Structure 1
């Protein structure tokens, strides 16, 4: 029997209408993968080498680790999702792609997907069956995009080092809310802490510490959707020593405070 495991983690997503005030530089929170499909206007996505114009009606894969900034000159609206692969080979393969890749949209679209994204990010209000169906819809879109990327781009180049990192990656995804020391992650991979830090950053373009913070910050977005939970409770839930530390970290990554996000989340494109 072959077990088909879920291979992608949905971080955030939805529908957003914006204007020239949408102007953001790269932060650690951008070290994920993004799908945009514009319905109006256009936006600019920049790497260190190029300035890409995303156009109405087209779907784009964006390699967040290669972004330097994103901005809009006039106005735009877009469907969007941010995700991370759980499979390390896919993860590193996507990291090897250009900053922006246009996706052939024949047979795939965000149309009708908004409700499933919303259900997953606000899962306390849906049944188990609705949750499973929503996962299948969102995962089908991501999987189709990845399949088309493998056809148009070579994402097969990978390092043998990635297999050595797998135990640590699995542990971080399962325990990111707890205090995790570099030494214990290195021990899981049978390497020294310095070498583990070096090959992790080389492979995933982010340090182990910042990767854990990335997981915490994306979890914070979902927790902040529940108005019945205080920001202080969320801070301790995610392993922060105090509320002020959590708020400072959240603003560093997203450019706004947790309270501002909680009040205006439906009008924000991260």
Structure 2
């Protein structure tokens, strides 16, 4: 496939998932005296901080965030916010951007965690507009459709901001091409995540022998097919914990486990804490 056709394919596959958005004011006293907040969410955070400052810890790095600056945190990234004053305000959105149905945009770019004040101002404006549109009362069907078109336009504006200040990871487009080649496999995985998935069936979808498929998959993605499936089950479990009130048994069934206990053990072995503890730590 030539580059122009490939770019059209990628362009047409862009998909936004909006989870929630709001403005939240944090006070030290409201957190029972805590000045630290720890998060790890299955969606991206795009926000502007006002009335700071605060300290952002990700891995072994720390970043001071001044009032007016923006934050861009990729999905499934554990981070800590340390309050440096009595309060801070965050104007935030939880969103995800995917391409080719299964690729997380943030897997291919390195966005700065902390932005300039100018970028933060743009993020804050778009967050306010998107939140207002999402919370507005519908008048009729045509008005609702028009409003959703406005939300989509502003989501593209946000995407443009993120891409304009991000670096592309080495080999990004080559990796996207790999995902496109294996798309039938990823489609099958997603549809059958609640069932037992056999590598032999995945190999059939690619018209390859099982051994050849296993080798090519691992060369392309640096993990075996079963390791990839386990990672997808963990991500879906995190998403369900964050966005639904399903019981542990119901979530277990949706990610391929007959009972809750094996799922809880799997989640803890992969993530390091129980699903119940993970859910309690999510912002409300």
Fold match by TM threshold 0.5: yes
**1:242: Cα distance to partner?**
0.9
State the Cα deviation string for residues 65-113 of structure 1 (Å, max 9, x = none). 7x56423244544223142413379745753314525272438422254
Contact kept in structure 1, 2:234 and 2:267, CA below 8 Å: no
Of 43, 52, 70, 2:80 maps to: 70
Aligned partner of 1:80 in structure 2 is: 93
CA RMSD between the two structures: 4.4
Aligned length: 245
Question: Normalising by structure 1, what TM-score?
Answer: 0.65
Separation (CA, whole Å) in 2 of partners of 1:52 and 1:100: 8
**1:150: Cα distance to partner?**
3.2
**1:214: Cα distance to partner?**
0.3
Contact kept in structure 2, 1:33 and 1:61, CA below 8 Å: yes
- Is 1:23 the equivalent of 2:33? no
| TM-aligned CA distance change 1:73 to 1:83, over 3 Å | same
SS in 2 for 1:111: helix
SS in 2 for 1:100: coil
**1:196: Cα distance to partner?**
1.0
**Structure 1, unpaired ranges of 5+:** 120-126
Aligned partner of 1:242 in structure 2 is: 259
Look at both structures and tell me which one has the larger radius of gyration over its CA atoms.
Answer: 2
Q: Which has the higher contact order (CA 8 A, sep 6+)?
A: 1
- Is 1:57 the equivalent of 2:68? yes
Contact kept in structure 2, 1:12 and 1:221, CA below 8 Å: no
Contact kept in structure 2, 1:8 and 1:85, CA below 8 Å: yes
Aligned partner of 2:6 in structure 1 is: none
Aligned partner of 1:142 in structure 2 is: 155
Written as runs of structure 1 = structure 2, the 5 A alignment for 1:48-197 is 48=60, 50-64=61-75, 67=77, 69-74=79-84, 75-78=87-90, 79-87=92-100, 91=104, 95-98=108-111, 100=113, 102=115, 104=119, 105-106=121-122, 108-111=125-128, 113-114=130-131, 136=149, 139-155=152-168, 157-159=172-174, 160-189=177-206, 190=208, 192-197=213-218
| TM-aligned CA distance change 1:253 to 1:136, over 3 Å | farther
**1:128: Cα distance to partner?**
8.4
SS in 1 for 2:232: helix
Contact kept in structure 1, 2:252 and 2:260, CA below 8 Å: yes
Separation (CA, whole Å) in 1 of partners of 2:143 and 2:241: 23
Question: Normalising by structure 2, what TM-score?
Answer: 0.62
**1:210: Cα distance to partner?**
0.5
